[in-house]
């Protein structure tokens, strides 16, 4: 071990330092990465549980970092949130995803309108330009608002006041669907759902995971059944995420869920892959 340099340096946790440097490095690299076009989007299909047909796709952003390779959103979205870069990055994702959805629709007119889901983070929700940016993106692309679904996490809306809900309400009035993402993880008051301008509940992956066990925990099943019936009585559609097996899909279909997403159907992938999939099922 090195003895020079003073003891104070030996107190540092080298791993924490590496993490901090990476975090710092990534954070400072974010703006240039956006300018250089290092972000790209993968699409994961959403499937009707009834007949397995493709309902739409969720846009999931990735960063092709010149040194670190492909980074997942969990590695940089929190940093982008923290620095505010999430606003231009989110605007880019929205524009790109909506353009892609319009492209699919034009080439897939017989398969019904393909829908596109885009994640919104809390900072975007608070940003005053959200409604105008969304309107602008839709108008430029020619995509009808009804084909867009914005996913907002349940936790971002807990305790939300009218000021926060107003832009979502405006978007919903235009016909944009709002989905409550990661539902079931945020301890929100179910009765509260009535005052939120949402039309879709996305059941968190933890519920699907709970069904992995054989036999599935009967309490888990009861909970999902209860959520689905409550959602349907409020005219909300239910999407489940993280479906990895056919048995899960079957169970969730029986429980009345409407659409599903997960590796069982397809991993997130480049736009061409989804195009091929939805064309195949239109036959």
Residues that bind Ca ion (CB under 5 A): 119, 151, 181-182, 241
Give start and end residues of each alpha helix (H) in 177-263: 205-210, 218-233, 246-254
| Contact partner, 77, from Ca ion, ligand C2E, none, Cβ < 5-8 Å per class | ligand C2E
52: left (phi over 0), alpha (psi -120 to 50) or beta: left
Write the CA distances from 50 to 220, 232, 258, integer angstroms.
21, 16, 7
Q: 33 by DSSP, 3-state: which?
A: helix
Q: Is the dihedral of CA 258, 263, 264, 266 positive or negative?
A: positive
Query: Residue 119 CB, nearest distance to Ca ion (Å)?
Result: 5
- Beta strands at 39-48 and 177-183: parallel, antiparallel or unpaired: unpaired
Q: How far is the CB of 86 from ligand C2E (least distance, A)?
A: 6
Taking the complex as a whole, the smallest distance from the CB of residue 208 to ligand C2E amounts, in Å, to: 8
Q: How far is the CB of 155 from ligand C2E (least distance, A)?
A: 11
By CB under 6 A, tell whether 242 contacts ligand C2E: yes
Comparison of 20 and 158: residue with beta carbon closer to Ca ion? 158
The alpha carbon of 160 is separated from its chain's Cα centroid by a whole number of angstroms, namely: 19
Q: Is 56 in the site for ligand C2E (CB under 6 A)?
A: no
C-beta of 133 vs 151, nearer to Ca ion = 151
Give min distance, CB of 269 to ligand C2E, in A: 10
- By C-beta, is 261 or 278 nearer to ligand C2E? 261
CA distance 208 to 252: 8
Q: Smallest distance from the beta carbon of 81 to ligand C2E, in angstroms?
A: 7
Chain residues 79-118 in contact with ligand C2E, contact rule CB under 6 A = 90, 93
The residue whose two tokens read 């990055």 is 89
First to last CA, the chain: 68
Of 82, 71, 80, 78, the closest CA to residue 42 belongs to 71
What residue 244 binds from Ca ion, ligand C2E, none (CB within 5 to 8 A, per partner kind)? ligand C2E
Nearer to Ca ion, 104 or 183 (CB): 183
* Total of residues contacting ligand C2E (CB under 6 A): 21
């Amino acid at each position: 071990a090195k003895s020079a340099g003073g003891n104070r340096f030996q107190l540092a946790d080298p791993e924490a330092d590496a993490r901090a440097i990476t975090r710092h490095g990534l954070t400072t690299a974010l703006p240039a990465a956006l300018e250089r076009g290092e972000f790209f989007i993968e699409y994961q299909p959403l499937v009707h549980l009834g007949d397995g047909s493709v309902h739409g796709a969720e846009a999931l952003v990735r960063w092709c970092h010149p040194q670190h390779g492909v980074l997942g959103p969990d590695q940089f979205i929190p940093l982008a949130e923290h620095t505010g870069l999430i606003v231009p990055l989110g605007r880019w994702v929205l524009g790109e995803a909506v353009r892609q959805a319009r492209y699919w629709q034009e080439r897939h007119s017989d398969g019904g309108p393909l829908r596109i889901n885009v994640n919104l983070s809390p900072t975007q929700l608070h940003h005053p330009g959200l409604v105008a940016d969304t309107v602008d993106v839709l108008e430029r692309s020619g995509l009808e608002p009804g084909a867009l679904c914005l996913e907002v996490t349940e936790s971002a809306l807990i305790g939300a006041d009218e000021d926060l809900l107003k832009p979502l309400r405006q978007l919903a009035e235009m016909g944009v669907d709002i989905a409550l993402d990661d539902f079931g993880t945020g301890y929100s008051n179910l009765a509260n759902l009535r005052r939120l301008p949402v039309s879709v509940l996305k059941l968190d992956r933890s519920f699907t995971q709970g069904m992995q066990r054989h036999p599935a925990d009967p309490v888990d099943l009861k909970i999902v059944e209860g959520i689905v019936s409550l959602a349907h009585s409020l005219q909300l559609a239910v999407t489940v995420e993280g479906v990895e097996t056919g048995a899960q899909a079957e169970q969730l279909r029986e429980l009345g869920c409407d659409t599903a997403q997960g590796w069982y159907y397809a991993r997130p992938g480049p736009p061409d892959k989804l195009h091929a999939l939805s064309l195949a099922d239109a036959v």
